Structure formats: C-alpha cells, structure tokens
Amino acid sequence: MRGAGEPPILAAHPAGTGGEAGEDARRGPVADTPMGSERTEMRKRQMSTTQDTPSAAQAQLSTGNRGSNACCFCWCCCCSCSCLTVRNQDEERARTTSHELQAEGIPNCEESPAPTLEEVNAWAQSFDKLMLTPAGRNAFREFLRTEFSEENMLFWMACEELKQESNKSVIEEKARLIYEDYISILSPKEVSLDSRVREVINRNMLEPSQHTFDDAQLQIYTLMHRDSYPRFMNSAIYKDLLRSLSEKPAEA
C-alpha cells in the first residue's frame, strides 16, 4: 500500500521493449538506416565476389598455360621468349665455328690442270716424279687420306712453303705454326720423327729460319717414299686414274 502523498509507481518496462521501442518510434525511419546500409553493402560484396570468381579461375588457367610453355631459363616464357632465340643463336654459332675450324685444319688441294696419261705413267717411274707435279701430289694426298696419314704430305708442303719466305717475322710465325701443328706431341696431326731430329728442331726453334725443319722434312719424305708410295701404285685411286686416261683416245 502507498502512503498518502506518495507519487504513483510507474510500471517497469521489460528491457528492450517499451522504453526502447518508444525511443525507436520517436526516431522513426532513421533508426533502420544503419542496418539497411549494412545489408546493402553485404549484397554488393557477395555480387562482387561472384563476379570475380570466373576471372580468378581464368587467371589461374592462363598462368598454368604459361607455365607449361616455359623454357628452362625463365618463368615468364611464351613462344616468343628471347632466351630461346639466344640459345638457338649460340648453338648455330658453335656449329659454324666448328665447321670453320675443320675446314682450316685441312688445306685445299693444290690447283693444277688434269694430268695427262704421260704424267701418270711417269709417276710409276719414281717417287720424285710423282712429287714434282701438283697433280701427282694431289692424287698421292688423296691416297694418304684413306690411310689416315695425310699429315705427312701436309707437313712436307708446309716446309716447302716456309722455304719460299724471306721476311723474318713471317718465317718465325710460320715456323711456330708448323711446330704446333706437326711437331708438338699434343697435336693430333703430329708426324713420326725420331728423337735426334726432334732435338735438332728444338735447337733451331731458338732462331727460326727457312731451314728449321729440313731434317724433319727429309725424314718424312723418305717415310712416304718407302712406306706409302708402293701401296699408292697398287691402289684403286691410281689404277682408276690410269685406266680413265687410257680409255679416252678410244672414246674419241
């Protein structure tokens, strides 16, 4: 019971109902604005995520395709990758250089007119007559190539060329090249010389001259005469050449 003069007791409102509802009612539509904005933003984000998903998948697929085409040098390679071009150029340059070195290692045959029947018959008379003519040397050199001993003829020809020089600096340079190509034990074209001749060459190389390799040239000349020349006269190369020249008058 209330005493006289006490103010009336107001009914308590449950939390979040009467008082807040009245407050919300007084605020009107403004009270709903924050939640509406949040829902709108959420919908935008969902739509944006849905739209971005195919693009991401396409990007991954594209990356995978690039990876499958990548070369071993870089990660960004496509069919026009510059490193592939560089590698191809290097390989081509290496092949070209190797071909040039091989061509330089074997000098061309001497220029000479075709031999006559009389010249070819003369080759059978003596080794000296064979070596006197360019055509004879070319034919004999072709035979030596089949026996893997062409370096003997190449060395003899290099010594003959050295004898024609008169300039000191040219003589020294050519003598050095001859030594490296045919005398050095490290050369694949080393000719067979005895120890005495090698000692003479080593002494002569202190002051190279046109005659530095005279003893070695004579020894190789003798080796070709005694060892290779008899086989050349019985070879198919010589017999075919002799037969072809013998048959020409009959054909005319």
Report the C-alpha dihedral over residues 107, 108, 110, 115, rounded to 10 degrees. Answer: 140
Residues contacting 133, CB < 8 A, separation 6+: 112, 115, 119
CA 105 to chain centroid? 19
pLDDT in tens, the chain (252 residues): 445 555 555 444 444 444 444 444 444 444 444 455 555 556 556 655 555 544 444 544 444 444 444 444 444 444 444 444 444 555 555 444 333 433 344 456 778 789 999 999 999 999 999 999 999 999 999 999 999 999 999 999 999 999 999 999 999 999 999 999 999 999 999 999 999 999 999 999 999 999 999 999 999 999 999 999 999 999 999 999 999 999 876 544
Q: Record the pTM.
A: 0.57
Q: Which two tokens stand for residue 173?
A: 């340079």
Q: What is the pLDDT of residues 132-174, one digit of tens each?
A: 999 999 999 999 999 999 999 999 999 999 999 999 999 999 9
Domains in the chain: ranges and CATH: 68-105 (no CATH), 117-251 (1.10.167.10)
Cβ-contact 176, 208 below 8 angstroms: yes
Please, what's the b/e burial string for 141-159 (b: 16 or more CB within 10 A of its CB; e: otherwise)?
bbbbeeeebbbbbbbbebb
Helix (H) or strand (E) holding 20: helix 18-27
Cβ-contact 205, 175 below 8 angstroms: yes
